[in-house]
Amino acid sequence: MTELIADIAVGVPLKQLFSYRVPDVLIDHVMVGMRAEIPFGRRATTGFILDIREGQADNLKKIKNLPDKEPILNPELIKFIRWAADYYCHPIGQVVRSALPAGLGSDKTSTRILTEALYRSLDPDIQVRGKLQIEILQYIVKNGPTGMSDLRTNFKSPYGTLKRLVEVGALEVCKQELIRDPFLLEKLTQDKGLTLNEEQSEAVDKLLPSIEGNSFAGFLLHGVTGSGKTEVYLNCVERCLSCNRQALILVPEISLTPQLVARFRARFEIRGIKIAVLHSGLSAGERYDAWREIIRNQVQIVIGARSAVFAPLPELGLIIVDEEHDSSYKQGEGFRYNARDLALVRGQQQGCPVVLGSATPSMASFYRSEQGALTRLTLGRRVHGGDLPKVELVDLKEEVVIGALANRLIERIQQALEKREQVLLLLNRRGYAPFLLCADCGESFHCPNCEITLTYHQQNRHLRCHYCDYVDAVPESCNKCQGLNIEPQGAGTERLEMELEELFPSAVIARMDRDTTSHKGAHQKIANEMLARKIDILVGTQMVAKGHDFPGVSLVCVLGADSILNFPDFRSGERSFSLFTQVAGRAGRASGGGDVFIQTYNPEHYALECASKQDYQDFYQQEILFRQELGYPPCGYLVNLVFFGNNEHQVNAASKEFSQYLNRFDLGVDVLGPSPCPLSRLRGKSRYQVLLKSTDRPSLRRLVNHLDGGIKHLPRQVKMHIDIDPFDML
């Protein structure tokens, strides 16, 4: 006898789906895309129904319950998730949970649907007594069904009166869902829209056939900083909505979201077009409510960070990936996906154009455009017609340095402040100092869990590991020699902020890094104060370089450039050029020009020279030769296998055995290693890596398909992460 069977994804490190029998009591309610409460081993858990079929259900366990009345995954999203799980070699149940907001993807959530009383008129002509009864009844008759929150706002203590109106039959009451609105307290202004210049109009015109034809095409919008890429996005979204389709806009970090959301709300939401936001800066309840509105097709535009690529938009007509070069699009732990690459896949699956935008495109995207896989659209000048900022490399070998700043930079900052201009300083290192050093014996203080020194945070008087969050008190004496001469070495954003306060006591100085923006709304508060000219000097990590539009900034200074340039990674030149060019673009956005200074001991490096000229083509031509010679992406393909465990000897032995297993297949793929990871110990685990490298993706894929066979023979104490298309290999 055939019965109804549900194939369910469970959030465990196993790649298969699990089959459960649908009990008779749930047959009329069960749908693909729903959550299901199920027994799993000795415990109960929640899974996700990805398929329903008929078959023999002998010995299958039953679904216990369906916690939702409607699906939380639609067919388009299920297809997309299946593809992503297969490509990135990750358990599908864990992929589903990564795609969903915390309120939907976890077993241990307190997030719930909020409701309130909704009052609607039953008989507007019924005779009621009392002034307040008459006023409330007339208000509801005029405005239609009205929620309690609205009535509380307009009437003082309406509870007893409402109860009486229900009793006499003038009103009826029911429950309605409340949507937690992250924009509730934000003022909405109207955007008049800007007239497109010739380059912008040409870019929009080339995008229109794909938007209006509902067909996939990939575009690279390469526009210099301040060239008006956002206005191109807005016009494209306008055309997409006019075709009754939905738009998805991805940004790399939540620090960029407030300004972009404000532009989109001013253009669209004031006309009643619903916009939803998805990123980790929202509460679990806000993300939960946004997801439910999207799945119900009540949202036309979604804006969010990388996980928003999984937003369940059924009528997707346009995907925009802003600042597409940014490494934040690559998830570094767990499900290691790249949202930029997945955006292109989703565009192919749902038949819509994908626009990748950047002033400094990733090597991968520019290479694709050179090969014809992406259509390149160029915005070569700023919208106001002004010049790009003048960039000067400050050779520290020839400069007098006071603290973290060359003397020439101090003088230039003073001049900017006297002109009432704003200053931006980039130092891509948090804390007061990267480490403490005993001046007597040279001992430093290391994290007991990781192979790195502890960062000194003076404000909280503690040492912190920025990888595992281990915290320790600042020691009174050296653990090795008991010496008392313990001194901070180097500078972080906290130390730089204090030095600037001493140098410029009358200036208002703020800091934007992970320490100062950890609480909700912090990014937006700092950005708003910069726009209102309440801040004279803003110090920050790479957060300050990403897409912000601060018209008052005329001077940008980059400190610690060499630590970024000399990072042990083949992409260090690309990252350096991109970061320095992006932060330079924050200067002179309103009137043109502006000055940028980059402090370095290596001004002859090609990445710095190209950044000083803001010449992407020159940088690309030099960098691509290096990539071609070594077979590195985008001229080759990589998979990084990271082995980890408590015992270093076991991890090393297991990685060697696995490497030998892979070499037996002889598929033309280089199997490099094993070798210790650059961070050989992290969060208490010893780590080794094996790198798979090939100029041929199909060959690499065939070898990846053999990984499961090797994983089965790993010792129980050793685990392995698979990182497809790795972005860093620390």
DSSP states of 447-471 as a string? -SSSSSBPEEETTTTEEE-TTT--E
Q: Where residue 566 falls among pLDDT bands split at 50, 70, 90?
A: confident
Same structural domain for residues 372 and 251?
yes
Give the largest CA-CA distance in the chain. Answer: 92
Total-model pTM:
0.89
Q: What is the pLDDT of residue 514?
A: 86
Same structural domain for residues 710 and 612?
no
For residue range 54-79, what is the model confidence (pLDDT) as tens digits?
988 788 999 999 988 889 999 999 99
Cα gap 515→494, rounded to integer Å: 9
In a domain, 172, yes or no: no
In a 3-state reduction of DSSP, which class is residue 446? strand
Same structural domain for residues 265 and 284?
yes
For residue range 464-515, what is the model confidence (pLDDT) as tens digits?
998 998 999 988 888 888 888 888 888 899 999 999 999 999 999 999 988 8
Cα gap 616→621, rounded to integer Å: 9
Same structural domain for residues 256 and 355?
yes
In a domain, 336, yes or no: yes
Question: How large is the average pLDDT for residues 659-688?
Answer: 92
Q: State the average pLDDT for the chain.
A: 89
More confident residue, 49 or 401: 49
Residue ending a domain, among 626, 660, 684, is 626
In a domain, 261, yes or no: yes
Same structural domain for residues 325 and 397?
no
Residue ending a domain, among 52, 72, 105, is 105
Same structural domain for residues 374 and 401?
no
Same structural domain for residues 315 and 399?
no
In a domain, 127, yes or no: no
Percent of the chain residues past pLDDT 90, beyond the cut? 55
Same structural domain for residues 595 and 528?
yes
Place of tokens 């970024």: 564
Cα gap 246→565, rounded to integer Å: 40
Please say if the pLDDT value at position 385 is more than 70. no
151-158: which pairs have CB atoms within 8 A and are 24 or more residues apart?
Answer: 151/119, 158/132
In a domain, 181, yes or no: no
Q: What CATH code is carried by the domain that includes residue 69?
A: 3.40.1440.60
In a domain, 243, yes or no: yes
Q: Which of 247-251, 463-467, 563-567, 611-615 has the lowest mean pLDDT?
A: 563-567
Please say if the pLDDT value at position 259 is more than 80. no
Number of domains in the chain: 4
Same structural domain for residues 519 and 425?
yes
- Which residue range is the domain that position 101 belongs to? 2-105
* Preceding amide of 448 cis, omega within 30: no
In a domain, 159, yes or no: no
Element housing 60 (H / E): none
Q: What CATH code is carried by the domain that includes residue 343?
A: 3.40.50.300
271, with CB counted inside 10 A (0-12, 13-18, 19+), is exposed
Residue ending a domain, among 105, 131, 154, is 105
Cα gap 393→382, rounded to integer Å: 23
Q: What is the pLDDT of residue 279?
A: 81
* The token pair that represents 337 in the structure block: 């996906």
CA–CA distances in Å: residue 682 to residues 95, 206, 332: 24, 48, 14
Q: What is the pLDDT of residue 202?
A: 94
Same structural domain for residues 674 and 531?
no
Q: What is the pLDDT of residue 517?
A: 82
Same structural domain for residues 207 and 315?
yes
For residue range 171-227, what is the model confidence (pLDDT) as tens digits?
888 887 777 777 655 666 777 677 888 999 999 999 999 999 989 999 999 998 888
Q: Where residue 1 falls among pLDDT bands split at 50, 70, 90?
A: low
Same structural domain for residues 703 and 576?
no
Q: What is the pLDDT of residue 458?
A: 87
In a domain, 676, yes or no: yes
Element housing 536 (H / E): none
Q: What CATH code is carried by the domain that includes residue 651?
A: 3.30.70.600
Q: What is the pLDDT of residue 590?
A: 64
